[in-house]
């Protein structure tokens, strides 16, 4: 049952946000149970930007759920001055319940299924419901919240831009500078993600990677909440933030845009031993990992190809030919 909270005036005479919690049906189970995804909204009652937050498109990436929950808790006390904020905190409940990246019933990646197809596969049908619901509100911005490897730092990811709407991409880039996170340009053109599909439809969108997956990292949750409040402040939707958020890497590098890279990959099999940690600044030709065989003999030393920053280390210590070992932000 939806939980609706009416507009109220606080002691200072300000109009409180109208908060609403509801559900959207995505499918009917074989036991005739209804599978739904939660929908949250906060409306100011005044014209202004429409912002969407989306979380847990990958079932093992859980921090976005909590970030959205905490933001809506704050709007029980804070005031949305203009516009509206909407959220799908749990887009992939089937994957979430089994701690799986994909929709386990169909083994599909929801974030490779947008903009969706109402007559397509299960993932495409769910993607269509999510996408059309977002489009109906004529959004000004969509922030898609994700997590990366278990050992990783948070960052903002911009879609690769060769064939996308460049005006909208420029708007997304400008907003990326307000997140307070390191800005990374994706080097792979993934055309069926939520963010890429939105940009193709003329809607600015960003992906925010909130560090480690599988578990809730409270520090990264705090970072995520503060980052989003930076953006709402920039859009004039809330009272000015007194202490705007900047991640420590952003303090060092500012608005510099890096490129995403998983090169070099391993050329041999064995056990990975990392020499650097996520967040470390590295130099070209620096040794970043070593790979040993089962007898402890060194098989390969992984050498950085560029100056950059370590974004994350592989979740597995198993190396094999062609396997990514680390992710980097490179110049």
Is the pLDDT at 161 greater than 80, yes or no? no
Kindly give, in sequence order, each residue whose CB lies less than 8 Å from that of residue 101, ignoring residues fewer than 6 positions away: 58, 59, 60, 61, 95, 109
pLDDT tens-digit profile of 66-100? 999 999 999 988 889 999 999 999 999 999 999 99
pLDDT tens-digit profile of 9-52? 444 445 567 999 999 999 998 888 889 999 999 999 999 999 99
Cβ burial, residue 9 (10 Å; 0-12/13-18/19+): exposed
- Helix (H/G/I), strand (E/B), else coil: 181: coil
Kindly give, in sequence order, each residue whose CB lies less than 8 Å from that of residue 1, ignoring residues fewer than 6 positions away: none
- Please determine, looking at this structure, whether the domain spanning 3-258 carries the CATH number 3.40.630.10: yes
Contact 67, 210 (CB under 8 A): yes
pLDDT tens-digit profile of 311-326? 999 999 999 999 999 9
Mean pLDDT of 147-156: 97
| Annotated domain spans of the chain | 3-258, 264-326
Give kind and range of the element (H or E) at residue 167: helix 166-176
Q: Three-state SS across 232-246?
A: HHHCCCCCCCCCCCC
Give the pairing of strands 257-261 and 270-274.
Answer: unpaired
| Residue 162 backbone zone (phi > 0: left; psi -120 to 50: alpha; other: beta) | alpha
CATH number of this structure's domain 264-326, picked from the four choices 1.10.3720.10, 3.40.50.970, 3.40.50.300, 2.40.50.100: 2.40.50.100
pLDDT at 30: 85
Tokens of 176: 């990326």
Is the pLDDT at 59 greater than 80, yes or no? yes
The DSSP bridge partners found for residue 261 are 328
Is the pLDDT at 192 greater than 50, yes or no? yes
Kindly give, in sequence order, each residue whose CB lies less than 8 Å from that of residue 263, ignoring residues fewer than 6 positions away: 305, 328
Distance CA(210)–CA(53), nearest Å, equals 13
Half-sphere exposure (Cβ direction) of 45: Cα atoms closer than 13 Å = 11
pTM here is 0.93
Distance CA(36)–CA(170), nearest Å, equals 35
CA 283 to chain centre: 28
Distance CA(143)–CA(178), nearest Å, equals 12
pLDDT at 17: 79
- Helix (H/G/I), strand (E/B), else coil: 223: helix
């Amino acid at each position: 049952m939806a939980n609706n909270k009416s507009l109220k005036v606080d002691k200072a005479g300000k109009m409180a946000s109208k908060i609403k919690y509801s559900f959207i049906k995505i499918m009917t189970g074989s036991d005739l149970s209804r599978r739904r995804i939660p929908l949250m909204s906060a409306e100011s009652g005044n014209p202004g930007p429409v912002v969407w937050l989306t979380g847990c498109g990958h079932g093992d990436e859980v921090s976005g759920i909590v970030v959205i929950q905490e933001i809506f808790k704050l709007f029980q006390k804070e005031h949305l001055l203009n516009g509206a904020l909407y959220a799908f905190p749990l887009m992939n409940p089937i994957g979430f319940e089994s701690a799986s990246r994909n929709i386990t019933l169909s083994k599909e990646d929801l974030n490779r299924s947008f903009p969706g197809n109402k007559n397509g596969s299960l993932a495409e049908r769910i993607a269509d419901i999510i996408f059309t619901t977002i489009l109906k509100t004529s959004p000004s911005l969509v922030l898609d919240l994700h997590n990366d490897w278990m050992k990783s730092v948070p960052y903002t990811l911009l879609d690769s831009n060769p064939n996308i709407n460049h005006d909208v991409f420029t708007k997304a880039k400008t907003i990326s500078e307000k997140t307070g996170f390191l800005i990374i340009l994706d080097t792979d053109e993934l055309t069926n993600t939520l963010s890429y599909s939105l940009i193709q439809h003329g809607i600015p969108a960003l992906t925010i990677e909130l560090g480690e997956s599988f578990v809730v990292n409270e520090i990264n949750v705090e970072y995520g909440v503060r980052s989003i409040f930076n953006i709402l402040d920039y859009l004039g939707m809330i009272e000015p933030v007194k202490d705007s958020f900047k991640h420590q890497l952003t303090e060092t590098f500012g608005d510099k845009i890096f490129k995403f890279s998983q090169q070099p990959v391993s050329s041999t099999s064995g056990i990975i031993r990392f020499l650097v940690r996520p967040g470390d600044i590295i130099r070209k030709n620096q040794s970043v990992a070593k790979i040993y065989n089962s007898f402890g003999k060194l098989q390969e030393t992984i050498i950085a190809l560029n100056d950059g920053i370590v974004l994350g280390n592989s979740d597995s210590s198993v190396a094999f030919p062609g396997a990514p070992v680390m992710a980097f932000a490179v110049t």
